[in-house]
A and B are shown apart, each in its own frame.
Chain A
């Protein structure tokens, strides 16, 4: 069944070319340049108000760009109204038509396309099956849970074989468990169908776990577009480093070798190195911090938080900022709260930010 559904999806390229959007005094998008490959799932990630929704709405045709162009499959769609764009959108707030059953919601787009009744019923049921909601086909939206409603919304968006699938924080109103499960299902379905997808979220874990590439946005611009692993290991800017994952910011200063001195260590710098003598913040992931128990260590474990496979330690140091460190939980036993310890950094390139 899925094979049959998937063969209909072409997977088209999407391109934002210098797209800006101004709302009165607010510049919601500021020259957005972005290419999305056919069949790719791209996540737009960023803090609230950075312009993610605006970008998606311009792609869907609900807003006009103030300048720039949006290309779908190589063609400028700026002049097309939303009902001619062939895009499936899943909204952040529940958007099912309250007067229609689940299956009628899914069949709505097919009905508009004048598909024969038997045809659209069969396809609507196929898609409900795809999102695991066949047993609830005859229910009205108010009889469904939040997660079920968003599944129906996904099926409804996919039913019309959209050229691009647009998801605007579709999981943000759901509770953690459902969110995680549905997130995985969305990814599975998207991979099976091969539909080009833009997924907007402010949740970095969500973006990293399901996207082929993640675009990190800030104030209407893209800071970095990269696969999740690259984004995490080699953030292009300090903003990306601090927004994606957890980072320690440690004081350091640049050496003439182009390396950075942090504490007693000298480490290579990832990316362009500031001039020698510059004071910088050194950005270090908790898992790149090595903690060893030592009676003369200058750090003291203040909190140890068990998180399953890893345990996160907060270490306080005299006259310096706290440091967060992750270590395998089986090693954490000897590092309970109050333990004196030595703190070192892994020998690998670090991202630095110049201090003004």
Chain B
């Protein structure tokens, strides 16, 4: 990325074009088509089946699942809880990771690997393990005599609306994704030099971060935020085991009473997540590109 003095890029000579006989080429193309069709079937087959199920009435079609879902009992509170949790998680994880990664990149580059390993840990440790740990701690918290600071604190953590315990856990869950996108942004945008340029021109640290670093990292901040948001919207395990009812948990329970509606809602939530990802890609593609040498 950064220019290195006197280093000339060693470009290897172009490889000779591989020539493929015509018949073989046709077979290759057919092969590729088959693979593509299989992939599409594998991916969209279940979706199409689910869609069919959600509108099939035995002797006709019905859109009632798509027109009535908002009135389904519990939908409103579950959906708003999920949105609140997702927003809180995004804010908390950015508050945690942005300063951490800035410090790591600008001041303590040697601990980067350690921070990376720590941040990727949630990918290796299954969420269930985390929940079991958290449950143990909650048990300990509730064991205190009522009215004590400990039990009041745990009461707040568990019973406020929304319960802070969930976003706190979700922060850990989304850590690898937030880390990855921020780290990539910092690495590709030559942040250290930009910071020095800003400082040199007279910017204090807060101004440097606010006016230069964060705008430069806009794409990767959005990236990390969207991923975290989408993950929390679909999270089931932790919420279910701690007996809360955000969207994913509600959806499963509701499915027992109205199968068609619950399938319709899963499809809609899938579409919502896709829309988020599309928006993210669009924004990432549009923003000014990084100053790359």
> Is B204 close to A, CB under 8 A?
yes
The answer for the CA separation of A89 and B199 in the assembled complex, in Å, is 10
Q: Are A142 and B197 in contact (CB under 8 A)?
A: no
Q: Which of B202, B212, B289 has the most CB of A within 10 A?
A: B202
Q: Does B46 contact A (CB under 8 A)?
A: no
- Cross-chain pairs A/B with CB under 8 angstroms, 9 sampled: A61-B199, A82-B199, A83-B202, A88-B200, A93-B193, A95-B194, A97-B212, A142-B288, A142-B289
Q: Which of B2-10, B55-63, B272-280 contacts A (4 or more CB under 8 A)?
A: B2-10
A78-99 vs B, Cβ < 8 Å mask (1 yes, 0 no): 0001111111110111111111
* Chain A at the B interface: SS class: loop
Q: Are B199 and A83 in contact (CB under 8 A)?
A: yes
Which single member of A108, A142, A202 contacts B201 (CB below 8 Å)?
Answer: A108
Write out the residue numbers on chain B whose beta carbons fall within 8 Å of the beta carbon of A87. Answer: 200
Give Cα A84 to B290, complex, Å. 28
Q: In the bound complex, do residue A141 and residue B291 qualify as a contact, i.e. CB atoms below 8 Å apart?
A: yes
Interface residue B157 (Cβ < 8 Å from any Cβ of A): no
Q: A91-B196, A98-B291 are in contact. Are A48 and B201 (CB under 8 A)?
A: no
Task: Please report the C-alpha to C-alpha distance between residue A62 and residue B106 in the assembled complex, in whole angstroms.
Answer: 12
**Which residues on A are within 8 Å of B, measured CB to CB?**
48, 60-62, 81-89, 91-99, 108-109, 112-113, 140-142, 146, 149, 153, 156-157, 160, 169, 172-173, 202
Tell whether A48 pairs with B5 under 8 Å between CB atoms, given A83-B203, A91-B196.
Answer: yes
Task: Classify the secondary structure of B's interface with A.
Answer: loop
Pairwise interchain contact A113-B202, C-beta atoms closer than 8 A: yes
Q: Which of B17-39 contact A (CB under 8 A)?
A: none
Smallest Cβ distance from B216 to chain A, in angstroms?
A: 6
Chain A residues contacting B200 (CB-CB under 8 Å) are 60, 82-83, 85, 87-89, 157
Q: Does B189 sit within 8 A of A, measured CB to CB? A: yes
**Cβ–Cβ < 8 Å partners of B198 in chain A:** 97, 108
Closest CB of chain B to A182's CB: distance in Å?
15
Q: Contact check: which of B190, B202, B203 meets A93 at CB < 8 Å?
A: B190
A89 touches B291 (CB 8 A): no
Residue B207 at the A interface, CB < 8 A? yes
Using known A-B contacts A48-B6, A146-B293, determine if residue A99 contacts B201 with beta carbons closer than 8 Å.
no
Contact with A along B250-292 (1 / 0, CB 8 A): 0000000000000000000000000000000000000111111
**Cα–Cα distance between A48 and B287 once the two chains are bound (Å):** 36
Asked if B202 and A109 make an inter-chain contact with CB atoms under 8 angstroms apart, the answer reads yes
Checking A93, A141, A142 against B2 with a beta-carbon cut-off of 8 angstroms, the contacting residue is A93
Provide the residues of chain A in CB contact with B105, threshold 8 Å.
Answer: none
A112 touches B201 (CB 8 A): yes
With a CB–CB cut-off of 8 A, which chain B residues contact A112? 201-203, 207
B215 beta carbon closer than 8 Å to chain A: yes
Q: Is B180 an interface residue (CB 8 A)?
A: no
User: In the complex, A93→B2 CA distance in Å?
Assistant: 5
Q: Measured between alpha carbons, how far is A97 from B214 in the docked complex, in Å?
A: 11
Partner of A62, one of B196, B211, B288, B292: B196
| A242, B177: Cα distance in complex, Å | 54
> Is B150 part of the contact surface with A, judged by Cβ < 8 Å?
no
7 nearest A-B pairs in the assembled complex, by CB-CB distance:
A173-B3, A109-B201, A93-B2, A99-B215, A142-B289, A95-B197, A82-B199
With A83-B202, A89-B196, A156-B201 in contact, do A94 and B289 touch (Cβ < 8 Å)? no
> Which parts of B155-177 form the interface with A (CB within 8 Å)?
none
Bound CA span A157–B198, Å: 10
Name the residue of chain B whose CB is nearest to the CB of A142: B289
Q: Which of A84, A95, A169 contacts B5 (CB 8 A)?
A: A169
Q: Please report the C-alpha to C-alpha distance between residue A304 and residue B287 in the assembled complex, in whole angstroms.
A: 54
- Known A-B contacts: A92-B2, A112-B203, A141-B291. Give 8 more (CB < 8 A): A62-B199, A87-B200, A92-B5, A93-B293, A98-B216, A109-B201, A142-B289, A142-B291
Q: Once bound together, how far apart are the Cα atoms of A112 and B202, in whole Å?
A: 7
| B 199-238 to A, binary, CB cutoff 8 A, 1 in contact else 0 | 1111110010001100110100000000000000000000
Give the distance in Å from the alpha carbon of A84 to the alpha carbon of B203 in the complex. 9
Chain A residue numbers with a CB within 8 Å of B199 are 61-62, 81-83
Decide yes or no: A96 and B204 within 8 Å by CB, A48-B5, A82-B199, A91-B196 being known contacts.
Answer: no
**A106 to B: closest C-beta gap in Å:** 10
Per the bound structure, the CA–CA distance linking A89 and B203 in Å amounts to 13
B193, A160: Cβ atoms closer than 8 Å: no
Question: Who on chain A is nearest to B207 by CB?
Answer: A112
Assembled-state Cα–Cα distance A96/B288 (Å): 12
Smallest CB gap from A109: residue in B: B201
Which of A98, A108, A140, A169 is within 8 Å of B189, CB to CB? A98
Q: Which residues of chain A have C-beta atoms less than 8 A from B215's C-beta?
A: 97, 99
Interface centre among A61, A89, A99 (most CB of B within 10 A): A99
> Of B5, B190, B203, B288, which is within 8 A of A94 by CB?
B190
Cβ–Cβ < 8 Å partners of A92 in chain B = 2-3, 5
CB distance from B168 to the nearest CB of A (A): 33
Q: CA separation between A186 and B249, bound complex, in Å?
A: 66
Proximity string of chain B (114-150) to chain A, C-beta cutoff 8 Å, 1 when within and 0 when not = 0000000000000000000000000000000000000
By CB atoms of chain A within 10 A, which of B2, B197, B199, B292 has the most? B197
Q: Determine the distance from Cα of A86 to Cα of B1 in the docked complex, in whole angstroms.
A: 28
Contact check, A202 vs B6: say whether CB atoms are below 8 A apart: yes
Residues of A contacting B5 in the complex (Cβ-Cβ under 8 angstroms):
48, 92, 169, 172, 202
Chain A residues near B197: list those with CB within 8 A: 89, 91, 95-97, 153, 156
The reply to whether B196 and A95 form a contact with Cβ atoms under 8 Å apart is yes
List of A residues within 8 angstroms of B290 by Cβ = 98, 142
Which residues of A have CB within 8 Å of B193? Answer: 91, 93, 95
Q: How far is the CA of A149 from the CA of B287 in the complex (A)?
A: 19
- Bound-state Cα–Cα, A99 to B201, Å: 16
Nearest to B214 among chain A residues (CB) is A99
